[in-house]
Structure 1
Amino acid sequence: MEEKEKEMVKFPYHPHPLTHFNNISELECHMCFSKPNSSRIEGYMCTVCFECNLHKECVESPLEIHHHPYHPPHPLSLRPLSPSESSDTCSCCGKRLGRGWVYHCPICSFIIHLRCAKEPPVLEVDQPKSHDHKLFLLPKPRPFTCDACALLLDGPSLPWACLECGVMIHRDCIDLPRLIRISRHPHRIRFTPSPPLPAHESSSLSCGVCLKVAHNQYGAYSCIKDDCRYVVHSKCAIREDVWDGKDLYGVPEEPEDVENPFEVIDDKVIRHFSHEHHHLKLKEDEDDAGFDGSEHCQACGLPIRIHSGNFYGCMTGDCDFVIHETCANLPRKTWYMLHPHRLTLKPCRNCNNTCSVCARDYSGFVYTCCEENCGFQVDANCASISEPFIHIIHPHPLIPASVPTEDKRCSVCRGWGNYNRKMMECIESDFLLCFRCIALPAKVRYKQDRHPLVLEGRGGEGAKGESFWCEICERKLNPDEELYYTCGSCCVTVHVHCILGEDPLIKTGGYSDPWGKFEVVANNSCFRPLCHRCQRRCPFPIVFKAYDHHLCTLTCLNMFLRFRF
């Protein structure tokens, strides 16, 4: 180690001395919380607790700045940001302060990121993307509504103004992309300072992403097609789950390739891309008398005898391939409302996959991202959900949640949202619904009832104050707090998990994973096997078998395989 690398410094806000290193470019600085573009940058690191990394440039920042171009009237003092200020906005760039160190004016409320204060000040922009004229920085912070995004920030910020037409724009909105493609609309959309009004001027514009009013006196994105009145708020259009980050200005538009999922052979006969060696014949919903419960749709994974609907079956006698008619029509390539890239439909050969939308394991068809190094994948059930979505238990349309839901719970199942368990929200209330609840089939068939059972719950019609019992597990069912399936004619009610199971998207068949081989079979005998792991009877439609043992759920199976030695 070089002698210079042994240099030690004392930082007032850290209990241990810091060691100098010639290069910490791979580490995140705990003052500015950014990684510079340079491949080599000097800095300091704590070799005692390894919890403090600082760029040398940040450590040497002046404790006070006088006459900064962004705030010339008062001096700015350097200090660490308090947790209560993390959600406040930077007066310079308009983004959340987050964490790290800031320069703050003790006289007024002006506060900016350390990295914003260090950047060379820019006082004018000659050719902004979002405006036709030159923009000038007004160095006095003030609350204002941005003419490019129509948003008023929580605190005062520095406006960029046009001296010719008087518009004021956030710094972050100066270079909004001119032309983009988003996942919510089939055409390209362009930024416009004032989107065109609808054909009837009495009607108002609504954003195609959040469905809220879009005022035409502010900037927004509108469809490039003359006969299409699609409009999106500027900030809605550039959300990470909506836009892929590419500005298509100057890029010629190419037609998207379209592949049909099947070839029509004859009346009610097709050849599907996932089963090309045999023909499939359409069968009516009731034509399932020969099924014993082991036949699952190859696409959605649900049992044919439970899921209501027409289906295709293989015409070869010794082949048990079946697929619902709706699943057979799933497009080979599609855009999805929760992902900015195009997706490709693929058959799945194992059940070690987890859906990026509902966080459930599945073994049916999967839509995967067309982009390299993007691990997004969504099962066929979640992929079939579109917006706005009308659910049987809620009167208002639902759209994908516009804010992170990690600290929120589904209004029905009470499950917590997370990165892989996404939700849809009501535009009229605070109602949230996770995709596990959204993707439940609206109707199912129950072997003890001649009518299809309908999904209800959360105080559905005739349920208020009633006491229901599940026909399968014979336990109490609370209609005011949970979803359930019911027959209005026969007064039959069953829990969702009792009729669909804990792992509804897993098909029967043989599988293998890094921990061993196992088999999934239909639980259709009069004898319910005992789960080797939890020592309870296996009550669900499928059973897992591994090394001569029965397991009731995928959770029990995984625990058994990992700890069987």
Structure 2
Amino acid sequence: MDKQSVKDFIHEHQLIFKSDDDEKPKLCKVCRLLIIAGTRFYSCSISSCTFFLHKHCADLPKVLIDPDYFSAKYNPFILSSTPTNEGDRCLKCYQICKNFTYCPKEIEHRNASLHPLCASPCKMETTHRSHRDHPLSPTHREIRAVCNACGEQENGIFFICQQCNYWLHQDCASLPPVAKHADHSHPLALFYSHPFPKGEISWGSCKICEEDLPLKLGVYTCQPCNYGAHIKCMKSSLKDLTPEEYKKLIAHLPPSVEDTVFPSLIIRAASLELEESNGANSTGDEKRMKPEECHDHPLTLLDDQNTEILGEDDLCNVCIQPILGSTPYYSCNQSHCHFLVHELCANLPTEIFGKLLDCRMYLFTEWPEFFGVFLCAFCRRSCNGFGYSDGPDGGGYNILDVECASAPRIIKHKSHKNHTLQLMMRSTYRRTEPGEFLCCSRTDFFFSRRFYQCINCDYKMHISCALLPQRVEHKFDTHPLQLHTDGPRNLSGRQNSSPENYYDFCEICEKCIDLRYWFYGCLECDNYFHVNCIPSVGEFSKFRFGGSVDDVPRHGDHPLTSVRMLTIGSQRCGYCGRIVRGFEDGFAFHCEMCDFWMHEYCVFWNRGYR
């Protein structure tokens, strides 16, 4: 008997057995059913060739002996790429056979056929993100059954879990994870069920039919806009993203392994390009700040051809991120003024719609508080650059810094390859459970309320962690430091890689660093750093230092200058006598002439600066 299987003769190119979590739907060439993300399958070795096979279908024999009593008389069956006669029905499921079919070898029985999925022995199981507890098996059903994704009664091909009585119609199993709809201007992400406990995040009502959105059914949502709709209401007019839209509407973070540009700059550039290509955005003609409105003095635009040498302390005065030589920027013409601003930051929109805040927000150039400091609602970091607030005339309750205001609605991140994450916000405040976020170990109430949530699984990521650059520079190492997001898997090359050795010490603060969370490091030099200990991304990375205050208590002779304590040892406050802690990311005030130090809060509370 011929022992050949399908994969030995079905395709002219070599087939590769692979398993990935690519969310893009693929169809098996033999059974014409969906190859679901997470299922092992065969793919053509030629990248441009869209040939795919289920593992089960690839292993089907070319010649089949079927043991069932009503089909045994037709043995042997030969697998053919088309049925012998058009309109032939399968002996078992009675459906019309199309494409690949098992046909009897004997000519007189050529009107009897078997669908590949009905051939015996045959048991195909697949995983699907709508039902992660158990594998699903395909089956054909003539009588209508309720689909657990859309709630509608359907017939035809279902993927079922008999243990849970879970039924997923093939049309719902193949829905695009991210799509667009005429009723909403932003891409919509598909959740097959509510990912959080009741009350934490509310879907509200369907924006199309205005009925409630049940927690157990699927929903297409733009959570930053509080928009959600039933699958059944979306299916008829749902449009998949084109490859061009996919690249523009879904941010892939970090942008490039070789790039030290901060992701928010690239995101803003892409957003500007998209708006220009569309002619207008969802809010109509967008008003933007002009470069001359950023600063009191004239500015000169310097592009990537300029020869000016910039240091790590050269920051954009708008977003408080490093100015890199490859990024066009404006520089003040006055020799005594060191004002710098990215070209993108000099053209920010004056109004935006606050993602997750459900309100319009307005650009401000200086916050009306002590030293211009405000607390960003997303990253919970202190910032004294430009920002957005919900108060049109200054002030307001919700405030975002420029970087967090650019946070995309939908992303893909290298730490969670191939899965899509959407910007989310809990309705309630609660402390994060240990291990709930794998990016960092922060567990405070406010910081973990807004985050990115995977639409396939329980993976979560803080907004500030998602916007970290892939590479940063630091004077402690001659090589660029790489962002490591895979925890212990990145350390397999270490001499002792047992779990108890996944701890090291930070080269800056010399405290223990838990390498199970994200960190920056140089594996070549065996140097590791807390994310918060890198000046350009740390706790006070959005704070512009160097400003001064006059007439402070107990030191009225000279002004005190704001200083970052990250790379400075501990000092003693000249006002309260307590220690100003060094080698931690905080700030204090210092007089170089007298070597007088003062806590930031001592200046603030005792002088009432506003």
Question: Normalising by structure 2, what TM-score?
Answer: 0.45
Question: Which protein has the bigger helix share?
Answer: 2
Greater RCO, CA 8 A, separation 6+: 2
Question: Normalising by structure 1, what TM-score?
Answer: 0.48
